[in-house]
Structure 1
Amino acid sequence: MRFVVYGAGAIGGVVGARLHQHGHDVTAIARGDHLEAVAAHGLQIHDPTGSQRVPLDVVGHPAAIDWRGDEVVLLCVKSQHTASVLHDLAAVAPDDVPVVCLQNGVNNEREALRRFPHVYGVMVALMAAHLQPGVVTAYYSPVTGVLDIGRYPDGVDETARSIAAAFEESTLASQARTDIMRWKWRKLIMNLSNAIGAATGRQFGTGLWERAAAEADACLAAAGIDAVPAAEDKARRESVLTLGEVPGAPHPGSSSWQSLARHSPDIETDHLNGEIVLLGRLHGVPTPVNTTLQRLANELVASGGEPGSVPLEELERRIAAEERANT
């Protein structure tokens, strides 16, 4: 099995490096300065045990890969890039290549299934950072993260089991699950906090995530969508993950915080808080907190705003205004 890691940022870079370090065949797809740095010097991965330089094979486009027919694509791009990379992938990859979505959000698998018949979802629990070209940081040790996997929309097959085994061999705890999307919905509810931390610098402890999550619970109930209970998800993570310290690399903000810190031209919020806003509009459930967070995150990207630059009082004021506008 040859792994093609499409998107070698924080998650893709760490997962690709761990697979390579444990003897698996890996080719990464990256872009820009990050592509140039990895091609020239390898991928530098920092973790609580030290630092290693991993000589990953890397290309800038799937057309540069010699597709042999034994590949598994690990899709690790942000959700807002999924449609475009699937378009590029479908032009050159075998029709039956397994596409595995190691992504936040719940719509990536559906998009992939439009193009490819064998699609898998992965619930990712892995604290990682990518803030400079050629470098990624992983904060859990000795287990690097949890990557539970299942076929989309449901079920388990031999491919899912084989991928889970490869992850397990590579310090990435993985179970093959028949109900993977229930786990991904729970992860999405957790990710509703990303925009809070990106905007205010305080991801938890303000009461805002609880309000955003309550909106999500109401939307999922109205839509008839089942998510794994929070306690079950917490138990899975805590059973295997230990957070460590990496010298010179404090624990980062969320992936959305990192997008603002890198001055990325876009952010994933439309596929996180925006997913709840969409459900609310479809089923008549008010979502003032998630609506405000979605708008604010996009405004920060458009204006080049820094992470943590919005006072909490300003965010509360805007939420209250959205509540009044919908009553």
Structure 2
Amino acid sequence: MTRYIIIGAGAVGASLAAEFEMHAIPYVLVGRGAQIAHIARHGLSYRRAAENRAVRLNTADTAAPPALRRGDILILAVKAQDVEATTEFWAWRNVERSRFASELPLVTLQNGLAAEDIALRRFDRVYAASIRIPARYTVTGEVVVGGEPNVGIVALGCYPAGLDDTALSIVADLTTAGFLAEARPDIRRWKAAKLEHNVTNVVELFAGSPELCSKAAASLAKEARAVLVAAGYDPAAPSEWRIDISSWRIAPESGIRPGQQSTWQSFTRGTSSEVDYLNGEIVRLARLHGIAAPLNAAFQQAAARLALEGRPPGTRDIGEICGEVLLRYWIEEKSIGMRRMVVRPLSAIMASAPIGPQPITSTHMPHQRACAVDGVQRHCKSLEGLKPRRLVILMRPLIRWANGSARSPIRYSLTAADQEFRDLACNFGPRQ
């Protein structure tokens, strides 16, 4: 009988192990550190909707992994940034009859598009999965899952394409374990569709009004889709599911609420995040195909800065990041002009920006201006050779717009700056 080796005891791996335990599907949950030690000693506190149960699990520490045997299937439930090290660790472990684990089937549950290609360097049979499971792991030994009536939704297939008996068997076991699961021969399309959604996770790290956050998320997803299409992907649409997912939802009483996805959880726990494999993947594809992904690049950098400074989620304003994107557009298109950007009128840039071209009212201008000033200062100090006078000319229309003018910033005369702006802009010259 097939035994699953679930590698990674986070939200996804632990909840998968709990469901396998409760549905009598053979498995071993392998992890490291305080989480696996707590589960081994006390069991997993497994919360679903209004129910909370302690589930005893079959566990092993990475320091003393289980002996592998023929017929095992490895399930990789670590984050994307850990796939390289994890596959290196497992691929060359011995299996009975002098075989290597690299000959065993490997299932990748990671967000993004990188895990499968990394795995193929060492594993012969890779099965990619796009999994949607509203699960939270922020407390050691506890996992909360909000999906009902099913745990989550999974599309799975051979990578890069196709189906075989193993894929169908895995899907059948996931269905038995309470998942809405479907075998898909075009799994790359489903991974791309999931990435289009996952790039919005980063928005949860920053403070801002619901309207502004929603606009930023929509713009990130729109930009991601454009890049994916340019790179040759055809993201799957929800209407393509053959299984009925219409009754699946996140239970309100589960405690899972918007703003608690995997990226937010990583920052909350103070661990590494997968932003470089989500927004960073879009940026990578854009660079490969000679196009721009300025929003995803800006949020990737902002998340990195947040992590480097050790700041928790919600301590930087999202408007500041959007302002930096506008500034970068303006400087690069009007001054440098050497990057691979599509030149278009500034009015069009403003109209498509996540913060929109609407005037800023006096009730919240001080806060927005503070964000804009900080964003301008951060970016301009990083520019070499840009003289303060040149910056005045470049930035005057943008600052006028940011201060609330209803006129298109592109129409302003470059000789009509007021003294307030002249003084403001001159303070943002490059480092000496």
Question: What is residue 211 of structure 1 aligned with on the other side?
Answer: 219
Report the Cα offset of residue 229 of structure 1. Answer: 2.8
Q: Secondary structure at the match of 1:207?
A: helix
Structure 1 residue aligned with 2:22 = 21
Question: Which residue identity lines up with residue 143 of structure 1 in the other structure?
Answer: N
2-side partners of 1:203 and 1:189: how far apart?
A: 20
Aligned to 1:194: 201
304, 307, 319: which is aligned to 2:310? Answer: 304
1:133 Cα offset (Å): 0.9
Specify the alignment match of 2:359 in structure 1. none
How far did 1:249 drift?
A: 5.9
The 1-side partners of 2:113 and 2:124 are apart by 17
Instruction: Describe the superposition over 1:53-108 as per-residue Cα deviations: whole angstroms up to 9, x where unpaired.
Output: 11112222175211121211111111000000001001315231111011101110
Quickly say closer, same or farther: Cα 1:219–1:113, change in 2 above 3 A: same
Do the aligned partners of 2:48 and 2:144 also contact (CA within 8 Å) in 1?
Answer: yes
Change in Cα spacing, 1:252 to 1:45, as seen in structure 2 (3 Å) is farther
Contact 2:155 2:181 (8 Å CA) reproduced: yes
Give, in angstroms, the shift of residue 222 of structure 1.
2.1
Corresponding position of 2:281: 275
Tell me which amino acid in the other structure corresponds to 1:297.
A
SS at match of 2:300: helix
**Where in structure 2 are the equivalents of 1:253-264 lying within 5 Å?**
253-264=260-271
Aligned residues of 1:199 and 1:296 also touching (Cα < 8 A): no
Matched, 1:139 2:140: no
Alignment RMSD (CA, Å): 2.0
Residues 297, 152 of structure 1: CA spacing in aligned structure 2 closer, same or farther, 3 A cutoff?
Answer: same
The question of 1:56 aligning with 2:57 is answered: yes
- Give distance in 2, aligned partners of 1:180 and 1:72: 19
Q: State the SS of the aligned residue for 1:17.
A: helix
The CA deviation string for residues 187-231 of structure 1, in whole angstroms up to 9 with x for no partner, is 001001011112337788531122212222222232222211355
Query: Which one is further off, 177-186 or 89-98?
Result: 89-98
1:77 alignment counterpart: 78
State the 1:243 CA deviation.
Answer: 1.5
Q: TM-score, normalised by structure 1?
A: 0.93
Assess if the C-alpha contact under 8 Å between 1:8 and 1:29 holds in 2: yes
**Cα separation, partners in 2 of 1:50 and 1:256, compared to 1, 3 Å:** same
Residue 284 of structure 1: how far off its partner (Å): 1.5
On the 8 A contact 1:292/1:322 being kept in 2, the answer is no
Match of 2:158 in 1: 151
| Structure 1: stretches of 5+ with no match in the other structure | none
After superposition, the Cα gap between the structure-2 partners of 1:21 and 1:298, relative to the gap in structure 1 and judged at 3 Å, is: same
Residues in 1 aligned to 2:331 and 2:108: alpha-carbon distance in whole angstroms: 37
Amino acid at match of 1:106: L
Tell me how many residue pairs correspond in the alignment: 325
C-alpha distance in 1 between matches for 2:199 and 2:243: 20
Alignment of 1:36 onto 2:44: no
Specify the structure having the higher radius of gyration (Cα). 2
CA displacement, residues 251-303 of structure 1 (integer Å, 9 cap, x when unaligned): 65110001111111x21000000011011111121111000111111111121
1:227 maps to which of 219, 226, 235: 235
Counterpart for residue 106 of structure 1:
113
Q: Is this contact kept in 2: 1:198–1:254, CA < 8 A?
A: no
Q: Measure, in 2, the Cα distance between the counterparts of 1:150 and 1:135.
A: 30
CA pair 28-325 structure 1, distance change in 2 beyond 3 A:
farther
What's the TM-score, normalizing by structure 2? 0.71
Tell me how far 1:123 sits from its aligned partner. Answer: 0.9
Given that 1:125 and 1:146 are in contact with CA atoms closer than 8 Å, whether structure 2 keeps it comes out as yes
Write the distance in 2 (CA, Å) between the matches of 1:203 and 1:29. Answer: 39
Q: CA deviation at 1:148?
A: 1.6
CA distance in 1, matches of 2:195, 2:210: 15
Larger relative contact order (C-alpha < 8 A, sep ≥ 6)?
1
Residue 168 of structure 1 aligns to which amino acid in structure 2? T
Equivalent position of 1:117 in the other structure: 124
**Are the equivalent residues in 2 in contact too, given 1:269–1:294 (CA < 8 A)?**
yes
> What is the letter of the counterpart of residue 97 of structure 1?
L
Gaps of 5+ in 2: 95-100, 334-432
Give CA deviations for 1:221-244 in whole Å, capped at 9, x if unaligned.
3222221135547x9784241211
**Could you tell me the percent identity over the aligned residues?**
32
Separation in structure 2 between the aligned mates of residue 9 and residue 267 of structure 1, nearest angstrom: 13
Structure 1 residues 238, 207: closer, same or farther in 2, change over 3 A? farther
Give the 3 Å change call, closer, same or farther, for CA 38–50 of structure 1 in structure 2: same
CA distance in 1, matches of 2:89, 2:193: 30
Question: What SS is found at the alignment partner of 1:45?
Answer: strand
